[in-house]
Chains A and B, each alone.
Chain A
Amino acid sequence: METVTNQPTKYLISKSIDGFFINVYNVFKFIAQFFKEAFTPPYEFQETIKQCYNVGYKSLPLITLTAFITGIVFTKHSRPALADFGATSWLPSLIGIAIMKALAPLITGLICAGKVGSQMGAELGSMRVTEQIDAMEVSAVNPFKFLVVTRVLASTMMTPVLVMYSGFVGLLGSFLNVHANEQTSLITFVHGAFVKISFPEIFSSLVRAVIFGFTIGIVGCYKGYTTTQGTEGVGRAANASVVIIMFLLFIEEIFIVQLMNWIQPGM
């Protein structure tokens, strides 16, 4: 029996609007395929660990530097405002809340968007245009499982780890500045930093980190995996990955903070 799967040549609304909705549909299809492949054997454990190393360990220098500087700078900027009220002793609490609840997830997410998201977009895009993904497919290997599932899992698992790490590095930077100016001891600083943070708040940061990590992985992989039009397309995929991820992270940030406040007011 013959099959007929003719491509549409007419558009429902216009080429760009139709294209937008087709793109949204394809993204959801891509996400659905991720969940299907992620829970179906065989599992690519070795490749997932390799990607965890790429996403996590290789991001450490950049995360360390950024978080450390953020801790110092934020402390320096906050001191004068608190000094006006004679409340510099509240610095550790302020910094603790700001870094652990807000800055660490967002800064780590944005850094990973730039480093990990663009890398995934460019790497998979390059594999697509040089037919390496087709080569996997025709040799009866599932490229989605090997390339996409492993990367998305790695970024989803490693981003919370990086968020916690960047939080502690940020607090370290802040402590050094507070210690140099107010001669606060480490124990006092740690107590001050965490006294106002509850476990649900830490949990909220981790939930955000998991969602950010998933977003980074899925967008980077989607843009790379669906790259067309040669090397120019690879550049576009890398660039679009970063822009879309950053946009989505801010949107998610607003929604998650609202949701958490709704679940537990005052969080």
Chain B
Amino acid sequence: MRKHVNHSDGKEEVISISKLYKSFGENHVLQGIDLELFKGENLVVLGRSGTGKSVLIKIIVGLLKPDSGVVKVFDKEVDKLDKKELMELRLKIGFLFQHSALYDSMTIRENLEFPLVRNKRNISRKEIDESVKDVLEAVGLSDTINQLPSELSGGQQKRIGLARTLIMKPEIIFYDEPTTGLDPLTSGEINDLINEVQDKYKTSSIIITHDLTCAKDTGDRIFMMMNGKFIRHGDFKEVFDTSDERIRGFFDYNFIQ
């Protein structure tokens, strides 16, 4: 279990969300979310599928618009930014998608170079090669550089997805279900990698998951989400040391007591 660090004491706030609502038609996905992410912490949003976890992080990065509420990243209100400002903000953000979202027509090298060459137009070939080499080493997949994403396993694709995120040296990383679809051993490796990345690159992270092991291994703070609301938060022990049937049921189902 990850050692709990109290980040709220005098730490810089990198994300703050208040009274966030989002609906799709009659489906009220987010119903009054309040959240702060502090610099250098791993925050886990835990909950069943379909509770609005992914919608939450897509709103934070500006992929979706909220119905109401305020989302601030580095003290900038995301919904109020123009396109250029949003692009600048996104340079400080990394996003690991649930199914990795690697560009399937490009090799691993091209996948990794893609954001780099388009955001740093004057970067030299040597610098690109060094950056690619560094991030591939960081995720332990240097030998896959000329392969296509379809030639990699699910776990390897997640690692490359993370490498593509790291190449831009982000300050905040969002992980959308990082261990979904992976076997327990590979899931454990991904959890270790998330912690290594946080230690090495000093990033702040929001990890969306329904995997209790992932939450336990990676989270400094855990926010339990149900029906579009946070029903409990704290460190792993605080969240699950409860007689609340809804939380106990979720815990028992995951068999990791």
Inter-chain contacts of A1 with B (CB < 8 A): 70, 77
Q: Are B101 and A131 within 8 A (Cβ)? A: yes
B152 within 8 Å of A (CB atoms): no
- Taking A137-B63, A139-B94 as known contacts, 7 extra A-B pairs with beta carbons closer than 8 A to each other, sorted by chain A number, are A2-B19, A3-B79, A7-B24, A9-B25, A131-B97, A139-B168, A140-B88
Inter-chain contacts of A130 with B (CB < 8 A): 99, 101, 104
Q: Are B68 and A4 within 8 A (Cβ)? A: yes
Inter-chain contacts of B94 with A (CB < 8 A): 138-139
**In the complex, what's the smallest C-beta–C-beta distance from A194 to chain B, in angstroms?**
42
B114 within 8 Å of A (CB atoms): yes
**A-side interface residues, number (CB < 8 Å):** 23
Interface string of A121-137 (1 = CB under 8 A from B): 00000010011101111
Cα(A127)–Cα(B118), bound, Å: 19
A141 within 8 Å of B (CB atoms): yes
B66 within 8 Å of A (CB atoms): yes
B7 within 8 Å of A (CB atoms): no
Cα(A9)–Cα(B26), bound, Å: 8
Which residue of chain A has its CB nearest to the CB of B70?
A2
Interface residue ranges, A against B (CB under 8 Å): 1-7, 9, 42, 127, 130-132, 134-142, 146
B103 within 8 Å of A (CB atoms): yes
Interface SS, B side: mixed
B164 within 8 Å of A (CB atoms): yes
Cα(A140)–Cα(B99), bound, Å: 19
Cα(A127)–Cα(B97), bound, Å: 13
Interface string of B1-43 (1 = CB under 8 A from A): 0000000000000000001000111100000000000000000
B80 within 8 Å of A (CB atoms): yes
**In the complex, what's the smallest C-beta–C-beta distance from A54 to chain B, in angstroms?**
11
B67 within 8 Å of A (CB atoms): yes
Q: Are B23 and A135 within 8 A (Cβ)? A: no
Inter-chain contacts of A7 with B (CB < 8 A): 23-25, 67
B181 within 8 Å of A (CB atoms): no
**In the complex, what's the smallest C-beta–C-beta distance from A218 to chain B, in angstroms?**
21
Cα(A174)–Cα(B164), bound, Å: 55
Which of A2, A4, A127, A141 has the most chain B CB atoms closer than 10 A to its own CB? A2
